[in-house]
Amino acid sequence: MNRMTRTAMAGALAVALSLGAAAAPAVAAPKAAHAKVAHKHGKAVKAERLTPAERRLAKQVARKSAYLGRLAKANKVERLDDLVEAAVVKNIERDREQLGELKADVGDVKGKVVRRDLRTFRPEAYHTIINQLRRAKGLEKALAHVSAAGTETQADTLEGLVELLMTYDAETKRAELRAAQRVLSAVTGALEKLEEAEDAEDAEGGEGPETTQP
């Protein structure tokens, strides 16, 4: 997904929350794949002519891909809701495909081009993404047990945030993750106030008129 679009969506969620808007922003289409440099080569021949620096670069790409492969099978991913898990695994697979293209480009394009593209891949970002998804789904369940007015707005905000987080991948910027965290923090605060309001209403409703003993 286009990064500017995703950042704008995260910002829109935060604005919607602050203004109390009920509608969540739509999710944009998945990101476009990296433009791949056209090249023709035989794998055996190419491996032989890689320089030591290029071989190290290829290993760096392979390590990131292997890391993502292990992550896709990790328990923390499997414990996600089925729909969310499927989206995360799909994003991981897409990242690995792009890393495969980068590895194939080593030796055919200038090393600095591959290094530049490789720097945008941060597999560790998935840990934050997964934690935020789990937190958002947990808040959704908590909101479902609150009947105080205002829950619909927060539920819509969370729904939009989950849809947005389901598009995040190894190229997600730290600023995008921070924006998502701000939305989660704001919804958490709103949920606490809604629960307090509900408790206050229950307390008032439980107070009956005083009776005097004969």
pLDDT of the residue at 11: 57
pLDDT of the residue at 119: 93
Residue 109, SS3 per DSSP: strand
**Stated pTM of the model:** 0.75
The verdict on residue 152 lying in a domain is yes
pLDDT of the residue at 124: 96
pLDDT of the residue at 6: 59
Reported as half-sphere exposure (CB side, CA atoms, 13 A), residue 37 has a value of 15
Q: Which residues of the chain have pLDDT under 50?
A: 4, 19-30, 36-42, 44-45
22-63 per-position pLDDT tens digit:
334 444 444 555 554 444 444 544 555 888 989 999 999 999
The verdict on residue 71 lying in a domain is yes
Tokens 């934050």 belong to 128
pLDDT of the residue at 24: 42
In 3-state terms the chain splits into helix, strand, coil percentages (rounded to 5) of: 70, 0, 30
The verdict on residue 120 lying in a domain is yes
Residue 1: both structure tokens together = 């997904």
The verdict on residue 4 lying in a domain is no
The verdict on residue 124 lying in a domain is yes
pLDDT of the residue at 147: 80
The verdict on residue 190 lying in a domain is yes
The verdict on residue 2 lying in a domain is no
pLDDT of the residue at 149: 80
Number of domains in the chain: 1
Residues 140 and 88: their CA atoms lie apart, in Å, by 19
The verdict on residue 133 lying in a domain is yes
Domain that holds residue 172: 52-201
Residues 99 and 61: their CA atoms lie apart, in Å, by 6
pLDDT of the residue at 7: 56
